[in-house]
Amino acid sequence: MDNPREHFWYGHYYACHAMHQVGGKDWEDYYKLIKGKFLQMQMPDGSWSRRDYQSAGPVYQTSIAIIALSVPANYLPIFQR
């Protein structure tokens, strides 16, 4: 891979869903880590628009961050237990 940050958002979006399905301590540890990372990267206006992470732009980054952070709430019916 040319740039390890190239698929940062996409990778963590799917990792959140996968780890949630695994559950238990692994999920709790992962979610705590990624939640801290995402919230640290959030801009003062509430968006995510980091230029150092290649992606489709701020709308994409913000959308992925919100969906990934909302995984524990089971908003997406396909991932409900």
Indicate the number of domains in the chain. Answer: 1
Round to whole Å and give the CA distance between 47 and 22: 29
**Structure tokens, 23:** 């559950």
- Does 50 reside within a domain? yes
Share of the chain above pLDDT 90, in %: 53
- Does 30 reside within a domain? yes
Provide the residue range defining the domain that includes 60.
Answer: 8-74
- Does 24 reside within a domain? yes
- Does 53 reside within a domain? yes
Summarised one tens digit per residue, pLDDT across range 41-59 is 999 999 998 777 666 788 9
Q: What is the pLDDT, as a whole number, of residue 1?
A: 40
Q: What is the pLDDT, as a whole number, of residue 66?
A: 94
Name residues whose C-beta falls within 8 Å of residue 56's C-beta, 6 or more positions apart in sequence. Answer: none
- Does 2 reside within a domain? no
Round to whole Å and give the CA distance between 50 and 11: 16
The angle that helices 8-22 and 58-69 make with each other, rounded to 10 degrees, is 10
Residue matched to tokens 């732009």? 57
Residue 7's pLDDT band, with cuts at 50, 70 and 90, is confident
- Does 79 reside within a domain? no
